[in-house]
Amino acid sequence: MCAISGVPGRTDEPWFADMTKLSNDELMRMFNMIADGRYEFAKNAWYIPIGGDQRCPIMVAKGYRSPDTLAKMAEFQYTAKELEEEFRDFIDAWDFGHITIKDIERAILKILEDRNIEITEKS
């Protein structure tokens, strides 16, 4: 089992595998929200986001906004259901507190670093 940049957690964990499904742009979108430090990612906000902007890291990565109308709420719930199925391990780890923002940040850096090394080696 391989440590993710010296933090608890391993690159062979299912939540990490889910993160590798995200594109570089999606990872950077999530990373920028983390680096900014002004946004607090929501937990358990998949179906009824109440209040302000409440999105989990995957919704942020995918670029989805919190709904502000009933029509957008229905679309949000449908999209959330699909993403929840695709990213189940990440969402469970996040919602149940098995991973932290720092774990996510380090995982993003590890994934991007590995992808850049792969591209360099193929050239």
104 domain-assigned: yes
122 domain-assigned: no
Kindly report the pTM of this predicted structure.
0.80
Gap between the Cα atoms of 57 and 64, Å rounded: 10
59 domain-assigned: yes
* pLDDT tens-digit series, residues 17-69: 999 999 999 999 999 999 998 888 888 766 555 566 778 899 889 998 878 78
Number of domains in the chain: 1
Indicate the residue type of 52.
G
31 domain-assigned: no
Gap between the Cα atoms of 102 and 61, Å rounded: 16
The answer to whether 57 and 42 have CB atoms below 8 angstroms apart is no
Domain of residue 100, residue span: 43-114
DSSP code for 98: S
28 domain-assigned: no
6 domain-assigned: no
The answer to whether 33 and 39 have CB atoms below 8 angstroms apart is yes
Gap between the Cα atoms of 72 and 89, Å rounded: 26
88 domain-assigned: yes
